[in-house]
Structures are given as structure tokens and as C-alpha cells.
């Protein structure tokens, strides 16, 4: 079985490392970036199987990254799990409308994240 690649786009180093560790333990190859701009070029150069995306980031919001992905034919089919502290129904609606496959609110436990990733990848394949 080919090792799947997950890209983690998260500006909080602790959270990024925690998600990365969760994904490594689950057998994924992990790419990480803390900023939105490099995320898109990373996706183009090393197409991940799935993206874990934070919404609140310094220069560009996760929703903008998601919208860019959905407009780009090379990236449009990559499933995205939004992982964010924004938990209001309007936030979730915005995330899903922007093209999120799954929307998780922080704090996210290991089991919850693992199941969401497996479910999302299963739905995508």
C-alpha cells in the first residue's frame, strides 16, 4: 500500500506538531507549512492525498486557500479537512461552502482526527 501524504496548514506550531504526530502514528507521510502562500505551491509540487487546514492564519485565511484549491483543476479534487477553533454554525457553513470535505473544531482528539481522515479519504477514493 502506498503511503498517503497529508499536508498540514496550521500557523500554531504546537497544534501543527500535534496533528503531524497524530498523522505519522497513523502511517501518513506528513508535510507541514505554517503559512497560506507556501501551502498552494507545496500542493502543486507534491500533491498531497489530503489537507488539514486551519482557517485563522496570519496572511491568508484558510477559506481563501480552500477557494483557490477548488478553482485550480490540479488541486480541486484534494479532500480538505478544516480544523479550526471557529465553531459557530455560520463558520461551519462558510467552510463547507468553500469546499471543505469535513469540518472539525479544536481541540481535536487523536481518534476523531484519524476517523475523519479515514472517512474523508474513503469517500474520495
Task: Write down the pLDDT at residue 101.
Answer: 97
Task: Write down the pLDDT at residue 123.
Answer: 82
Residue spans per domain, the chain: 5-112
Does an H or E element contain 123, and which?
helix 110-124
pTM of the model: 0.95
> What burial letters (b/e) apply to 21-33, b meaning 16+ CB within 10 Å?
ebbeeeebebbbb
Rounded to 5 degrees, φ, ψ at 66 are -60, -45
β pairing state of 102-105 and 50-53 = unpaired
Task: Write down the pLDDT at residue 117.
Answer: 97
Rounded to whole angstroms, the Cα distance separating 81 from 90 reads: 17
Task: Write down the pLDDT at residue 125.
Answer: 66
**The listed CATH number (3.40.50.11540, 3.40.50.2300, 3.30.460.10, 1.10.357.10) that belongs to domain 5-112:** 3.40.50.2300
Rounded to whole angstroms, the Cα distance separating 69 from 83 reads: 16
DSSP string, 41-85: HHHHHS--SEEEE-S--SSS-HHHHHHHHHHSTTTTTS-EEEEES
In a structure prediction context, what are the per-residue pLDDT tens digits for the chain, which is 125 residues long?
A: 579 999 999 999 999 999 999 999 999 999 999 988 899 999 999 999 999 999 998 889 999 999 999 999 999 999 999 999 999 999 999 999 999 999 999 999 999 999 999 999 998 76
**Per-residue DSSP letter, 26:** T
Amino acid at each position: 500500500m502506498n503511503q498517503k501524504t497529508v499536508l498540514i496548514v496550521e500557523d500554531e506550531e504546537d497544534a501543527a506538531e500535534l496533528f503531524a504526530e497524530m498523522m505519522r502514528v497513523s502511517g501518513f507521510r506528513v508535510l507541514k507549512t505554517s503559512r497560506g502562500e507556501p501551502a498552494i505551491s507545496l500542493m502543486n509540487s507534491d500533491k498531497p492525498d489530503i489537507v488539514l487546514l486551519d482557517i485563522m492564519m496570519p496572511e491568508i485565511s484558510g477559506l481563501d486557500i480552500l477557494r483557490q484549491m477548488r478553482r485550480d483543476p490540479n488541486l480541486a479534487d484534494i479532500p480538505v479537512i478544516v480544523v479550526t477553533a471557529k465553531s459557530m454554525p455560520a463558520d461551519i457553513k462558510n467552510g463547507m461552502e468553500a469546499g471543505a470535505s469535513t469540518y472539525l473544531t479544536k481541540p481535536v482528539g487523536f481518534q476523531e482526527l484519524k476517523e475523519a481522515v479515514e472517512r474523508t479519504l474513503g469517500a474520495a477514493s
